[in-house]
Amino acid sequence: MSLSGASERSVPATKIEITVSCRNLLDLDTFSKSDPMVVLYTQSRASQEWREFGRTEVIDNTLNPDFVRKFVLDYFFEEKQNLRFDVYNVDSRTNISKPDFLGQAFLALGEVIGGQGSRVERPLTGVPGKKCGTILLTAEELSNCRDIATMQLCANKLDKKDFFGKSDPFLVFYRSNEDGTTVKIDVYDWDRDGSHDFIGEFTTSYRELSKAQNQFTVYEVLNPRKKCKKKKYVNSGTVTLLSFSVDSEFTFVDYIKGGTQLNFTVAIDFTASNGNPLQPTSLHYMSPYQLSAYAMALKAVGEIIQDYDSDKLFPAYGFGAKLPPEGRISHQFPLNNNDEDPNCVGIEGVLESYFQSLRTVQLYGPTLFAPVINQVARAAAKISDGSQYYVLLIITDGVISDMTQTKEAIVSASSLPMSIIIVGVGPAMFEAMEELDGDDVRVSSRGRYAERDIVQFVPFRDYVDRSGNQVLSMARLAKDVLAEIPEQLLSYMRTRDIQPRPPPPANPRPTPAPEHP
């Protein structure tokens, strides 16, 4: 009989500690330097109102403060967490309830984490005609022990507790002391009705367990009641530790802090089923009053991912359109009309190129996904060191026309540093898209299954706010479609045994531009 077990773990909320410094602040005191303090505000997604989160201490007589008091925030990769830092001069000789304003900075928490070494420096603004200096922010993940212990045990001659059969033993582990030095282990016989029979117990320590890497360790299982009642009692059996290993479990933030970049690529459906872009009934209609579902999906996802891409250059493609002047049908044409360089500058650049393409190309068909998936996969295949991870966003309205080829492309891409997000817009049922999302059944092609689940599909209509609040609609969409990206990145790194790089120094050399599809 053998027993094997591994430590159980839960995934707590990611806590991020923000350290604040300022440089070259305004000097508003006459006979001394300013006495600065920083106030952090967070923004409500629903109301967009700013609420005070916390304050640093006041440091007297300095224009270059390094604050000791830190801000601890819950971090969610899939959310746009806007922050505002206000800097004040708190002079005890004046009215402390009305401190002098020295400047402010706006940025997202993702920008801090996505900065080189999870550090950013931003100019302070807000005082007309004055240079307000800069604010420096450093993010550090606060996490529990990341060591995962795996052990294999076997038991011999345990007390028999079942009348008609042998015992069904299991172990329960307890940490007896606050410092974790002593580990108590109970041995039970499992009963179907839950009234498990106690067989015995033994104690050990982490140091003793770790010795099993070199030698077997045998523990006597003792039942205190039997020991008191029976003079000749020896034990209730033994448990032998056969092996013990410890592995470190790295987090998403570890890889980002070590320099891993998220390379974001966009592919937009230009098939005729979307309707004439000049008509209000079209899913591509460019209303002067609100964004289309396509534009909202693009902005919702892109504005979060762009914080983790240092060069802010995003390849953007369209598919299913006839291109001028000869009317050639293309399923991976660059939205900026530049075949040599499909990169757009920032998410606003992608939106601008998308709107321009709507004015120049003819919506046609069919709806093919495989060409653009393979295009991004070719770029991802060139990167195997964990320095870059590719995220492809496909926004579509219709039924896919190349399902067989798309499954083949996804299965091949599942072994690469790559994830695919599909957002369905419009009233279609999208049964085929659900099939590509491998949450329930892993995608397969020609008898080969995807190595990892890399596809997340959602219909945009499920996230539209009933009151018409586009900001909330976009936040809800981004929260759902991006939630799986950190774990998908980690699954790739684990399967390839890629560890995060150490964070770069405070003033690193420029990194080379990433390989774009």
Q: If you average pLDDT over each of 44-48, 147-151, 242-246, 458-462, which comes out highest?
A: 458-462
Hey, where are the domains in the chain? Answer: 14-142, 147-248, 253-496
Task: Could you please state the CATH topology (level 3) that the domain comprising 147-248 is classified under.
Answer: Immunoglobulin-like (2.60.40)
Strands (E), 134-233: 134-142, 147-156, 169-175, 182-189, 197-205, 217-220
14-142 folds as Immunoglobulin-like (2.60.40)
420 burial via Cβ count (<10 Å: 0-12, 13-18, 19+): buried
Cβ-count burial 489-511 (b if 16+ within 10 Å, e if not) = bbbbbeeeebebeebeeeeeeee
Please check the confidence at residue 282 and state whether its pLDDT lies above 70.
yes
Average pLDDT in the 143-148 region? Answer: 68
pLDDT, residue 514, reads: 53
> How do beta strands 333-334 and 418-424 pair?
unpaired
Yes or no: say if 449 and 411 are a contact pair by the CB < 8 Å rule: yes
- Calculate what percentage of the chain has a pLDDT beyond 90: 70
Quick check: 425 and 458 in contact, CB under 8 A?
A: no
Q: Is the pLDDT of residue 515 over 90?
A: no
Give the tens place of pLDDT for each residue, 293-346: 999 999 999 999 999 999 999 999 999 999 999 999 999 999 999 999 999 999
- Token pair 């802090």 is found at 257
User: Which is higher by pLDDT, 144 or 243?
Assistant: 243
Residues near 380 by Cβ (< 8 Å), separated by ≥ 6? 388, 390, 413, 416, 417, 418, 517
Compute the average pLDDT of residues 408-412: 97
Query: For the domain bounded by 253-496, which CATH number is listed?
Result: 3.40.50.410
Bridge partners of 233, per DSSP, are none
Retrieve residue 21's tokens.
Answer: 């410094």
Q: Is the peptide bond before 366 cis (omega within 30 degrees of 0)?
A: yes
Instruction: Return the pLDDT at 207.
Output: 81
End-to-end CA distance of the chain: 54
Render pLDDT for 336-391 as a digit per residue (tens, 0 to 9): 999 999 999 999 999 999 999 999 999 999 999 999 999 999 999 999 999 999 99
Two tokens, residue 127: 């005082």
- In the predicted model, what is the mean pLDDT of the chain? 89
Tell me whether domains 147-248 and 253-496 share a fold: no
What is the C-alpha to C-alpha distance for residues 256 and 454, in angstroms, rounded to an integer? 19
Q: Which two tokens stand for residue 463?
A: 């996230």
pLDDT in tens, 463-514: 998 888 898 999 999 999 999 999 999 999 999 999 999 887 765 444 444 5
Other C-beta atoms closer than 10 Å to the C-beta of 188 total 18
